[in-house]
Amino acid sequence: MEVSNTKLMNFQLSFNKLVLSLFLAGMNLTIHAADVISYGVLKGQKFFQFGPSSPFPASTAFEAFVMAAAAGSLSEGTVQPPGGGALVTLDPLANPNRFTYEEEFSSLGELNTTYPNGSYVVQMTGANDGAKTATLNLTGDSYPNTPTISNYSETQAINPTAAFTLAWGTFSGGSANDFVQVLVTSFSTGTTVYQSPDLGAAGALNGTATSVVIPANTLAASQSYSLNLTFAKILNRDTTSYPGATGVSGYFKETQVLAMTGSGGPGPGPDTNAPTLSYTTPVTNASRVPVNTQVVFAFNEPMAPTNSIEWSGNISAANFICTWSADARTLTCVYNRLFPTNSVITWNLKGFKDVAGNSLAPVSGQFTTSCEELPPASSNFSLSKSADYEQTSAGVPILGTNSSAFVSAFVHFTNVTPVTEATLQLPNGVISNLFSFTGNDYFLFGSFNTENALAAAYPPGAYTFRLKRADGTTSSATLTLNVEPNVPQISNYAETQSVNPDADFVLRWIALAGATTNDFISLSISDTNGMLIFQAPERCIPIRLLPTDTSITIPRGTFKAGDTYRASLGFFKFGARDTTSIPGIPGSASFSKLTSFEIRTTETGSQPTAPKYTNFTRSLNGSFQLSLSGQASVTYVIEASPDLKTWTAISTNSSPSGVISFTDSGAASLARRFYRARSSP
């Protein structure tokens, strides 16, 4: 997800796709003569839990599935929503036995507009049974309460060598007819490491369960896991429309938690493993860091509070306020001043120990701040639509896989009467609530698999923000977003795959159609560690990039030989800016499209043209003049020797034309002197 290039957390929205093997192990059947075991439609709401408090809304979703009895026994599955909605085609994706479809939305209003309550017609074509049709009723909006992990703090320091009991709040009104499932996946690999039994299977959790035991040694030491807890209210079961198969419909809520394990050990006993620094923000050697950034140190296990940090002399350690997170794994240091601009900030961690007393090995790092002063904080509201593309050949870029089209709405206020409620009315009349996490910000976010899906949910037209203030007053503003940029396309893609790092490289692209001074183009290039090595526009150097430009020169020396780089070219179109509708809070709307591509450099740069002497002259005063011709803008070193054995550099120079002239006044006192020229590394 990308909202103004900012990510909500350091982990992805990787929710369990509640096509839950779920209702599938299905219904205690021991012989499946039918081509299909089960099928279903569900509507749900998804949440994040960041602490012991209530989870925050993340998205809503429609899900449909058909589970085949065996690979090849099902050739097709579709779902027809009520009211003549667009036919949904189910895909087998990674599992040939499971045909699924999922679409996420940012609000219930949008979910219900596209997938209203009513009768869903499921059509299935089996290898032996042929075409089958079943109707599943999904009505009543009988969503369960939001699952909440009640021992959240314990999930942040799980002992992997011991059994762990995960506990949660009661499923309100939950019964044996309802269903609860826990899924744990590795954050680094996405592999499922634990899953409670499916509905109908022995040991499946029902609506009365409030805990589950994850066996010892299921989790690895010093790792992060995505933990998903699902409450499902099952309303209907159909065992007659398709004999031998079971159809289900219902509503669910799902909460995701990022869980972490301690260092553990081979078995019970004291912790003797030294802690490690997992990551820092900013990353070490980062450049162009905002002068108001927070410095964050994250560790692999809970740490003792006693420690010290040595900071560089260009800032004052006394101006830092450092606080530990509740799980004692993360230390956040806030500088109550602004960092100096265009400066190297260094840090050195000293005396850090984990709670068992094991010492952290010495570790240090640094980052460089931006040359730009921080603009004063200001209130604003905005609407943005975006799409991410990938170019892997000279052909047209293609939309990225898995949720590559996005919409976001944002309200930030400062030094004005606080906002207590914010909504956004879409051109189609749907009203969506904006959510607040910080008290000063309200936002809405949605992701889609295609641009068509984005356009259907958030069509071109007028979007109306409505704000309610703490003093009871209300205000509104309408932003019109009808503009849309073309997809950025690199026109010399083949050249990007064999860039000579020792020469300037000109990157070219197809123009931003209908470019105006209100539009914007951006380019960023990062190395394999995610470090930004080049960007445009860039005020610090400066580097200009105009909306009408179709190329930019990347200076020689920017790239290293034999490396691969990740680049992104963005086109931005802006709607009219509104500075009057809501006093003190200006608004803007934009549509951006970004194309990502790789740049590869050659193992060694091409050798500059060898220099050639073109003129030799000895003047009356004995000085020696010479001229050489080489490659334009390449630096050449002229060396002198009395004996062709010992050489000394006497001139280093370059010329835009490649022609260099040099006068050796020291030759006047010498009977002889030899000269040679070479290119500088």
Quote the pLDDT of residue 634: 81
> Does an H or E element contain 493, and which?
helix 493-496
- Identify the CATH number of the domain in which residue 338 sits: 2.60.40.1220
> Do residues 619 and 628 touch, judged by C-beta distance below 8 A?
no
> Does an H or E element contain 617, and which?
strand 612-618
Residue 98 CB-density burial (10 A; 0-12 exposed, 13-18 middle, 19+ buried): buried
In a domain, 11, yes or no: no
Distance CA 279, CA 295 (A): 11
For the chain, residues with pLDDT lower than 70 are: 1-33, 93-95, 188, 199-201, 263-270, 374-377, 401-403, 415-416, 437-439, 541, 604-608, 645, 681
Paired strand residues for 226:
185, 258
**Of 260, 285, 308, the domain-final residue:** 260
Distance CA 546, CA 254 (A): 46
Q: The whole model's pTM is what?
A: 0.50
Distance CA 543, CA 533 (A): 13
Co-location of 235 and 157 in the same domain:
yes
Give φ, ψ of 526 to 5 degrees: -125, 155
Distance CA 472, CA 85 (A): 40
Quote the pLDDT of residue 67: 86
Instruction: Please give the structure tokens belonging to residue 446.
Output: 């949605």
Q: β-strands 405-412, 441-448: how paired?
A: antiparallel
Co-location of 222 and 108 in the same domain:
yes
- Identify the CATH number of the domain in which residue 624 sits: 2.60.40
Co-location of 201 and 66 in the same domain:
yes
Structural domains of the chain, count: 4
In a domain, 270, yes or no: no
Identify each DSSP E strand in 108-198 by its residue range: 118-126, 130-138, 164-167, 179-186, 192-195
Distance CA 203, CA 195 (A): 11
Co-location of 107 and 187 in the same domain:
yes
If you average pLDDT over every residue of the chain, what do you get?
Answer: 84
Co-location of 450 and 477 in the same domain:
yes
Which of 262, 277, 282 lies closest to 352 in space, CA to CA?
277
In a domain, 15, yes or no: no
**Of 216, 232, 260, the domain-final residue:** 260
Instruction: Please give the structure tokens belonging to residue 86.
Output: 């667009």
Co-location of 602 and 617 in the same domain:
no
**Of 574, 606, 638, the domain-final residue:** 606
Tokens 């809501």 -> residue:
582
Distance CA 47, CA 511 (A): 41
> Do residues 227 and 166 touch, judged by C-beta distance below 8 A?
yes
Reading phi first (left if > 0) and then psi (alpha if -120 to 50, else beta), residue 16 is in beta
Quote the pLDDT of residue 355: 82
Edge-to-edge strands, sheet with 224-238:
98-105, 56-68, 36-48, 246-260, 224-238, 179-186, 192-195
Distance CA 534, CA 291 (A): 19
Gap between the terminal Cα atoms of the chain:
42
Co-location of 249 and 155 in the same domain:
yes
> Do residues 259 and 224 touch, judged by C-beta distance below 8 A?
yes
Domain coverage including residue 600: 378-606
Give 48-52 contacts, CB < 8 A, sequence gap 24+: 48/9, 48/255, 48/256, 48/257, 49/148, 49/149, 49/152, 49/255, 49/256, 49/257, 50/9, 51/152, 51/326, 52/152, 52/153, 52/326
DSSP string computed for 450-492: SHHHHHHHS-SEEEEEEEEETTS-EEEEEEEE---PPPP-BTT
Sign of the four-CA dihedral 188, 193, 197, 198 = positive
Distance CA 42, CA 66 (A): 12
**Residue-wise pLDDT tens digits, 100-128:** 888 888 778 788 888 999 999 999 999 89
Which of 126, 12, 130, 1 lies closest to 70 in space, CA to CA?
126
Co-location of 250 and 293 in the same domain:
no
Quote the pLDDT of residue 325: 82
Residue 181 CB-density burial (10 A; 0-12 exposed, 13-18 middle, 19+ buried): buried
Co-location of 533 and 635 in the same domain:
no
Alpha carbon of residue 175 to chain centroid: 39
- Identify the CATH number of the domain in which residue 440 sits: 2.60.40.10
Cα 316 to Cα 319, 331, 334, 338, 368: the distances in Å are 6, 18, 12, 11, 16
> Do residues 635 and 680 touch, judged by C-beta distance below 8 A?
yes
Co-location of 116 and 239 in the same domain:
yes
Paired strand residues for 119:
137
Instruction: Please give the structure tokens belonging to residue 265.
Output: 């050990």
Sign of the four-CA dihedral 2, 5, 8, 13 = positive
> Do residues 34 and 129 touch, judged by C-beta distance below 8 A?
yes
How many CB atoms within 10 Å of residue 42? 26
Distance CA 118, CA 495 (A): 55
In a domain, 660, yes or no: yes
- Written as one letter, the residue type at 494 is A
In a domain, 156, yes or no: yes
Quote the pLDDT of residue 200: 60
Q: Give the three-state DSSP class for 318.
A: helix
Paired strand residues for 311:
347
Co-location of 621 and 600 in the same domain:
no
- Written as one letter, the residue type at 519 is D
Distance CA 108, CA 85 (A): 17
In a domain, 1, yes or no: no
Paired strand residues for 543:
538
Peptide bond into 537 cis (omega under 30): yes
> Do residues 134 and 126 touch, judged by C-beta distance below 8 A?
no
Which of 239, 214, 233, 87 lies closest to 149 in space, CA to CA?
214
In a domain, 13, yes or no: no
Q: Cα Rg for the chain, rounded, in angstroms? A: 32
In a domain, 353, yes or no: yes
Co-location of 573 and 642 in the same domain:
no
